[in-house]
């Protein structure tokens, strides 16, 4: 068992999410950066999709019983003795992960342990004093693995969205010529600014289905990329969709930093 000493900035339990429920309005949720979460889990011998802690930073936990932990900021498995603490500070990424050998043992809702901040499904975001049980000992031993790093300005690939023709010219090409600055970010979405996407079709749009990585353009013109806890439908035109392998690239850009887009081939 571990105890929360400082909940930091939005710390939640996340696994691979609850797929297959969008038809009743339930987003998938799950880790914002599933590849990074999987690496950190494997560092302690867990399956890659075991429930782990996701945080923007500032999380401090104390071992109530001896546990084996790893995080992306200290990429090695180590044992915390009873009463010892570990901190996950804010780093170069927007989202960080702390895995405990055995996984975080919380109740599953619709097949997932993930906290959904939009639908309020799953366990609540962590608070000071919360105690979290650890699951059974996994069969695999902790092992070393390289935690992925990104250098320089972030780049992500774009596919045209279903309403690309509602905007002036080749809108994907237009988006490629701008360094988009992240103005705000949450588990629901990432808001970008820096370019002017001129809408030529101004008709009302009935709600349409959304996927992770879809880029909507609200009336103020600042695009929003949908993330883990995005709604299943939306009423703003989807101008483009970030390649599924690159959604986490955009999600990991800190507020104030920039990302550039290329065209997916």
Q: What is the pLDDT of residue 140?
A: 87
CB 206 within 8 A of CB 185: no
Q: Is 0.85 surpassed by the pTM of this model?
A: yes
> What would the pLDDT profile of 58-72 be if each residue is shown by its tens digit?
999 999 999 999 999
Is the model's pLDDT at 252 over the cut of 90? yes
> What would the pLDDT profile of 85-139 be if each residue is shown by its tens digit?
999 998 888 999 999 999 999 999 999 999 999 999 999 999 999 999 999 999 8
Average pLDDT of the chain to the nearest whole number: 93
Residue 152: pLDDT band by 50, 70, 90 thresholds?
A: low
- Residues of the chain above pLDDT 90, percent: 81
CA 100 to chain centre: 19
Nearest to 227 by CA among 137, 165, 156, 166: 156
């Amino acid at each position: 068992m571990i105890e929360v000493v400082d909940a930091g900035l939005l710390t939640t339990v996340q696994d691979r999410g609850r797929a297959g429920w969008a038809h009743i309005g339930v987003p998938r949720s799950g880790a914002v950066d599933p590849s990074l979460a999987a690496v950190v889990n494997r560092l302690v011998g867990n399956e890659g999709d075991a429930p782990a802690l996701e945080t923007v930073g500032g999380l401090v936990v104390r071992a109530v019983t001896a546990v084996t932990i790893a995080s992306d900021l200290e990429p090695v498995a180590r044992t915390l003795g009873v009463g010892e603490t570990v901190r996950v500070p804010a780093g170069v990424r927007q989202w960080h992960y702390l895995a405990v050998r055995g996984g975080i043992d919380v109740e599953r809702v619709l097949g997932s342990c993930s906290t959904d901040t939009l639908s309020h499904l799953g366990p609540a975001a962590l608070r000071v004093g919360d105690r979290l049980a650890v699951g059974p000992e996994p069969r695999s031993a902790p092992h070393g693995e390289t935690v992925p790093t990104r250098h320089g300005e972030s780049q992500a690939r774009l596919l045209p969205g279903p309403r690309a023709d509602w905007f002036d010219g080749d809108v994907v090409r237009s988006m490629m010529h701008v360094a988009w600055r992240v103005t705000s970010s949450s588990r629901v979405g990432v808001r970008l600014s820096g370019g002017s996407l001129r809408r030529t079709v101004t008709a009302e749009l009935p709600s349409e289905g959304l996927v992770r990585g879809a880029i909507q353009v609200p009336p103020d013109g600042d695009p929003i990329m949908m993330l883990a806890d995005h709604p299943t439908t939306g009423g703003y035109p989807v101008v483009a969709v970030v390649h599924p392998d690159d959604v986490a690239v955009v999600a990991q850009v800190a507020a104030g930093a920039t990302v550039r887009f290329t065209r997916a081939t």
